[in-house]
Amino acid sequence: WELMNEPRCMTDPAGNTLQDWLEEMSTFVRSIDKKHLLTVGLEGFYGPKNPKSLTVNPADWAALYGSDFVHNSNLPNIDFASAHIYPDHWFHEIEFEESVKFVSKWVRSHIDDGDRVLKKPVMFTEFGYSNQNPNFHPSQRDRFFKTIFDEIYASARKNGAGAGSFVWQFFVGGMEEYNDDFGIVPWQRSSTYQLITEHSCRLAALRGLNQLKGSLRELCLQDK
């Protein structure tokens, strides 16, 4: 369960209001369902009391939304931490290469928090690269995905907090009316499909391909 998608409380930048709500609701959800994992749904910004707000946040405004990745995720009923990645929404005047460097730093920072402070897995539960960026080319999106995937895998292979990711957003053909500037049909671009497949299978291999079932097992064994 996700308590709320990208929760904010801009009337209380210090974060007390949101923290109280998260504590109350995570306790309530756990009381009625002890079987499913629970996360917050955070964008991953660091609040004004967190030193990383000055070194990792995309800009000063990110500390004013009443949320803090570490504080909000460090509740007893939250099973794993969540963060999002949208550099082209957070920045408007930086080059692609700078954006990639930020993404790598952002992912490593949150995984480090999971390892050192939270002692919990970290999932990057939403990320995308817009096709409305100036001079957009699909290869940029592949590079963006690969940067995230590589950081997660580097952590997972050491049994670290990097747990996995959810791309925003996958479609099958015929769903174009629901699409936005982030949506993709993976198999329409072979390099993107291969990138996602390889990432899924190499993460799966860390747990042992023999444990896989169904279509994922078939896909990964075929990929090998």
What average pLDDT does the chain have? 94
Q: 43, 95, 98, 126: which one is catalytic?
A: 126
Examine residue 6 and state whether it is found in any structural domain, yes or no.
no
Give residue-wise pLDDT tens across range 63-100. Answer: 999 999 999 999 999 999 999 999 999 998 889 999 99
Classify residue 7: in a domain, yes or no: no
CATH number of the domain residue 132 falls in: 3.20.20.80
Q: In terms of Cα–Cα distance, which of 135, 42, 57 is closest to 96? A: 135
Torsion angle of C-alpha atoms 28, 30, 36, 37, degrees rounded to 10: 90
| Active-site entry in 2, 6, 23, 198 | 6
What is the model's pLDDT at position 66? 98
Residue 7 sits at the vertex; the CA angle it makes with 68 and 18, to the nearest 5 degrees, is 60
**So what's the pLDDT on residue 155?**
97
Provide the token pair at 5.
């998608």
Q: Residue 223 has what pLDDT?
A: 56
Give me the pLDDT at residue 214, please: 78
> What is the distance between the alpha carbons of residues 98 and 182, in angstroms, rounded to a whole number?
20
> Can you give the pTM of this predicted structure?
0.94
For the stretch 2-48, pLDDT in tens is 999 999 999 999 999 999 999 999 999 999 999 999 999 999 999 99
Query: Is 90 part of any domain?
Result: yes
Residue 97 annotated to the active site: no
Distance CA 224, CA 221 (A): 5
Q: Write the burial class of residue 2 (CB in 10 Å: 0-12 exposed, 13-18 middle, 19+ buried).
A: middle
Tokens of 8: 């904010």
Long-range contact list for 5-11, CB < 8 A, 24+ apart? 5/41, 6/41, 6/42, 6/43, 6/84, 7/40, 7/41, 7/42, 7/67, 7/72, 8/65, 8/66, 8/67, 9/65, 9/66, 9/67, 10/64, 10/65, 10/66, 11/66
Residue 5 lies in a domain: no
Q: What pLDDT score was predicted for residue 175?
A: 86
The pLDDT value given to residue 49: 94
Range of the domain at 26: 16-223
- Asked whether the beta carbons of 41 and 1 are under 8 A apart, the reply is no
Check: CB of residue 99 under 8 Å from CB of residue 130: no
* pLDDT at 224 > cutoff 70: no
Q: How many CA atoms lie within 13 A of 40 on its CB side?
A: 32
pLDDT of 174 reads 86
Mean pLDDT across 127-152? 95
pLDDT band at residue 176 under the 50/70/90 scheme: confident
> Is residue 215 domain-resident?
yes
Q: Is residue 3 part of a domain?
A: no
pLDDT at 219: 80
What the block records as the tokens of 161 is: 């907090």
Residue 164 domain-assigned?
yes
Q: How confident is the model at residue 120 (pLDDT cuts 50, 70, 90)?
A: very high
Number of domains in the chain: 1
* Predicted pLDDT of residue 121: 98
Residue at 117 is within a domain: yes
For position 85, what pLDDT does the model report? 98
The token pair that represents 43 in the structure block:
């964008």
